[in-house]
Amino acid sequence: MTVTTHVSPGPSVTQFLHKNVTLWMTLQLALRPNGVTSSPSIVFYQKASQCPNQVLAANLTRDNCTVRSKVECAAMCMPNLTCLSFLFDPEKKHCYFGSEPSDPKCSNMVPSAGMQHYDMKTACSNGGILMTGGTCVCPRGYIGENCDILMRDCDDGRVKGKIKKNGVYWIFPKLSAEPFLAYCRMVDRPRTYVMDRVNNDVNFTRMWKDYKQGFGNVDGDHWIGLDKLHILTNSEDYELRFRVRLRSNSNLFQFYDKIGVDDEAHNYRITFSKDVVPGSLGDCLSPANGANFSTMDRDNDNNIGVHCARRHQAGFWFAGQDCTLCNPTGRLLQPDNQRRRGIPEEVFWTESLGNTVPYKVSAYLVNTIK
């Protein structure tokens, strides 16, 4: 019998161990124990990361051989179809084989400071596909070695899940009761989109209910919804970034740090750091720091004589005598001459843009570097 074994955790094993996630062991058998040559097969074993310092309680068979390492235990477990897990006793150098894996809630396990427990990996969770090498290709939004967790936001998916492809993902922020869809751009500082207006095929002149729940196509023009924005901004520390694209295709940006959006009972009041650094786009929101959200059917602005949302045909954080310095959710007219028409309902940005009209508008959250 020729058994070639190698521990194959890859270069990031130290990182994994520090994070107490999973240790991978890859075994390759060139020859079956009965002497019959077969194509190499690979089985993967993993530590039950959800059950640290615990081992299987029952259904164990001890092998009396002395082994050098857990890799040898894995090599003995692998060809036995009833062996679904094993324990390695590093002190006595013995293997114990289990006919069951650890329960996800660790209910069939007992504490053990010394022994090490490994489960055979037979599949990936949540519809993930097991690839050669033991990695799982996870469905959108799922991350982790087994696709067993959903990413909290786009940044989480990029950093922990190593996801590089832009698109729509399920995210599950800390304070959310359920996962929801978000558009992610997986750039160096990943963006969780709040709104996108690039195709100009979705009407943004909408009522309270729509702005609350979100509308449009998550992979196209859309508004994520104020309830989700409230959950996101209370779950992590973010900067809110606005991007305006001009007809010339040049992009202009404005950032707002420490962004917070209150809940519906407080009219989705917006707050952010008072230290606003004017970007290439220019500051619009500063006069609205602390303002309520208003829509066509809800006048929550503090302008007594004017229903600002109706004036601007938009849903936004309007406040003060002038209602707003910009109107990113107004009517996107995209005129050929690139000039503002001068009507309150059109999309416009601040005086920093002069009469130049935005052609595309996006807003997204970027995680603050701690």
Selection from 118, 18, 104 nearest residue 75 by Cα? 118
Least gap, CB of 268 to Ca ion (angstroms): 16
What letter represents residue 225's amino acid? G
Burial readout 139-161 (b: 16 or more C-beta within 10 A, e: otherwise): bbbbbbbbbbbbbbbbbbbbeeb
Question: What is the CB-side half-sphere exposure of residue 284 using CA atoms within 13 A?
Answer: 28
Q: Who contacts 27 (Cβ-Cβ below 8 Å, separation ≥6)?
A: 3, 5, 6, 42, 43, 45, 71, 74, 75, 78
Least gap, CB of 294 to Ca ion (angstroms): 7
Using the rule CB under 5 A, give the single segment among 139-147, 230-238, 250-258, 302-310 that binds Ca ion.
302-310
Least gap, CB of 206 to Ca ion (angstroms): 18
Least gap, CB of 349 to Ca ion (angstroms): 22
Least gap, CB of 320 to Ca ion (angstroms): 10
Q: Which two tokens stand for residue 250?
A: 């040049």
Among 116, 235, 303, 350, binds Ca ion (CB under 5 A): 303
Q: Give the residue with the Cβ less far from Ca ion, 109 or 319.
A: 319
How many chain residues are in contact with Ca ion, going by CB under 5 A? 3
What letter represents residue 360's amino acid? K
Least gap, CB of 368 to Ca ion (angstroms): 33
Residue 320 binds Ca ion, judged by CB under 5 A? no
Q: Give the residue with the Cβ less far from Ca ion, 233 or 329.
A: 329
Site for Ca ion, residues 187 to 216, rule: CB under 5 A: none
Least gap, CB of 305 to Ca ion (angstroms): 7
Q: Who contacts 81 (Cβ-Cβ below 8 Å, separation ≥6)?
A: none
Question: Rounded to an integer, what distance in angstroms lies between the CA atom of residue 177 and that of residue 196?
Answer: 25
- What are the Cα distances from residue 314, in Å, to 142, 331, 348, 362, 363? 35, 8, 12, 15, 15
Q: Give the residue with the Cβ less far from Ca ion, 143 or 291.
A: 291
Q: Which two tokens stand for residue 90?
A: 């590093």
Selection from 249, 278, 282, 275 nearest residue 350 by Cα? 282
Using the rule CB under 5 A, give the single segment among 143-151, 204-212, 280-288, 293-301 that binds Ca ion.
293-301
Q: Give the residue with the Cβ less far from Ca ion, 26 or 329.
A: 329
Q: Give the residue with the Cβ less far from Ca ion, 120 or 306.
A: 306
Using the rule CB under 5 A, give the single segment among 12-20, 30-38, 263-271, 303-311 that binds Ca ion.
303-311
Using the rule CB under 5 A, give the single segment among 192-200, 271-279, 296-304, 357-365 that binds Ca ion.
296-304
Q: What is the DSSP letter of 3?
A: E
Question: Rounded to an integer, what distance in angstroms lies between the CA atom of residue 40 and that of residue 270?
Answer: 59
Question: Rounded to an integer, what distance in angstroms lies between the CA atom of residue 80 and that of residue 34?
Answer: 12
Least gap, CB of 301 to Ca ion (angstroms): 4
Least gap, CB of 297 to Ca ion (angstroms): 13
Residue 119 binds Ca ion, judged by CB under 5 A? no
Residue 344 binds Ca ion, judged by CB under 5 A? no
Q: Give the residue with the Cβ less far from Ca ion, 125 or 303.
A: 303
Using the rule CB under 5 A, give the single segment among 43-51, 127-135, 236-244, 301-309 that binds Ca ion.
301-309
**3-class DSSP state for residue 210?**
helix
Residue 299 binds Ca ion, judged by CB under 5 A? yes
Site for Ca ion, residues 251 to 280, rule: CB under 5 A: none
Among 78, 301, 319, 328, binds Ca ion (CB under 5 A): 301
3-state secondary structure 17-70: HHCCCCCEEEEEEEECCCCCEEEEEEEEEEECCCCCCEEECCCEEEECCCCCCH
Least gap, CB of 11 to Ca ion (angstroms): 59
Residues that bind Ca ion (CB under 5 A): 299, 301, 303
